[in-house]
Amino acid sequence: MKDKVVLITGSSQGIGRATALKLVSLGARVVLNDIKAQEENLKKTAQETGAQYFLADVSKAEETEKMAQEIQQQMGGLDVLINNAGIVQDRTLAKMTQEEWQKVIDINLTGVFNVSKSCLPLLIQSQGKIINVSSVVGLRGNFGQTNYAAAKAGIIGFTKSLSREVGRFGVTVNAVAPGFIETKLTDNLPEEMKITLKKLTSLGRFGKPEEVASVIAFLASSEASFITGEVITIDGGLN
């Protein structure tokens, strides 16, 4: 990964931050991204990694286009795109508002489209890699998450389809599907629920962001050069 330019969306905290730290340790030139509301956290991650950052809302095509142009100008190109940005707004479908549905789709799924499309010319030029962060929820569903599950399942279909389109240019496209990972999202769960969820995994625990970051780093490296259109589940044996 030495001197490879890597863009990680939604990288102010959690899996995005852990991935940034991992890739910097491997010699990559990391570019961080998040929204204005997360700028303080983004600055902290930038200080930890020595990385640059760009503020952009991935749900807005004009902002992702501008970010891609700035990366080209300031970094000279792009080798790896990691689409990690995402939110949750959980509610059963009967109670879900149109806004709660649309916002999750716009950020989690349309965001992947926007950033991938904006960065694709750079990635074709470098014969680069795209890694999309999906979720086991996109594979199996989850109570109260029809919006999130639909978006994450959409990412899987997007990954498999785009891999067929860009393989001829030497670009690979893969996804990871994490299970329950120790992030702010799981920190806020009631203790009883945490115990129940841990029992659902073969390993009896939540995963760590660093464990997801290691798989992403593998897919971003030259060692994964003949893997494309795949989804790697990282869930500790979720039953």
Asked if the model's pLDDT at residue 188 lies above 80, the reply is no
HSE-up of 103 (CA within 13 Å, CB side)? 9
**pLDDT greater than 80 at residue 230:** yes
pLDDT for 184 beyond 80: no
Residue 47: CB atoms within 10 Å: 9
For residue 190, being part of any structural domain is answered with no
Contact 23, 215 (CB under 8 A): no
> Can you tell me the distance from the alpha carbon of 119 to that of 41, in angstroms, rounded to the nearest whole number?
24
Q: Over the stretch 148-173, which tens digit does the pLDDT of each residue have?
A: 999 999 999 999 999 999 999 999 99
Long-range contacts of 213-218 (CB under 8 A, 24+ apart): 213/15, 213/18, 213/19, 213/21, 213/22, 213/23, 214/22, 215/176, 216/15, 216/19, 216/22, 216/82, 216/131, 216/133, 216/176, 217/1, 217/19, 217/22, 217/23, 217/26
Q: Looking at the domain assignment, is residue 102 inside a domain? A: yes
pLDDT score recorded for residue 50: 92
Question: What is the residue-averaged pLDDT of the chain?
Answer: 96
- Judge whether 168 lies within some domain: yes
Considering 53, 54, 148, 180, which one is annotated as catalytic? 148
Q: Does residue 53 lie in a domain region?
A: yes
Q: Which two tokens stand for residue 220?
A: 């971003």
| Number of domains the chain is built from | 1
Q: Are residues 81 and 123 in contact, defined by beta-carbon separation less than 8 angstroms? A: yes
- Known catalytic membership, residue 148: yes
Q: What is the CATH number of the domain that holds 102?
A: 3.40.50.720
Contact 100, 158 (CB under 8 A): no
Return the pLDDT at 185. Answer: 74
Q: Report yes or no on 194 lying in a domain.
A: no
How far apart are the C-alpha atoms of 209 and 122, rounded to whole Å? 28
In DSSP terms, 175 is beta-bridged to: 132, 231
Please report, rounded to a whole number, the percentage of residues in the chain having pLDDT higher than 70: 100
What's the domain range around 159? 5-179+208-234
Determine the average pLDDT of the residues in 39-68: 96
Q: Is this structure's pTM higher than 0.75? A: yes
Helix, strand or coil for residue 130? strand
Number of Cβ atoms within 10 Å of the Cβ of 92:
10
| Tens digit of each residue's pLDDT (9 = 90 or more) over 101-148 | 999 999 999 999 999 999 999 999 999 999 999 999 999 999 999 999
Read off the tokens for 86: 């995402």
Backbone angles phi, psi at 42, to 5 degrees: -65, -40
Do the domain assignments include residue 185?
A: no
Identify whether the C-beta of residue 81 lies closer than 8 Å to the C-beta of residue 68.
no
Report phi then psi at 173, rounded to 5. Answer: -135, 120
Residue 30 lies in a domain: yes
6-16 burial: b if 16+ Cβ within 10 Å, else e: bbbbbbbbbbb
DSSP string, 63-103: HHHHHHHHHHHHHS--SEEEE---------TTT--HHHHHH
- Beta strands 29-34; 129-133: pairing state: unpaired
* Assigned domain for 43 exists: yes
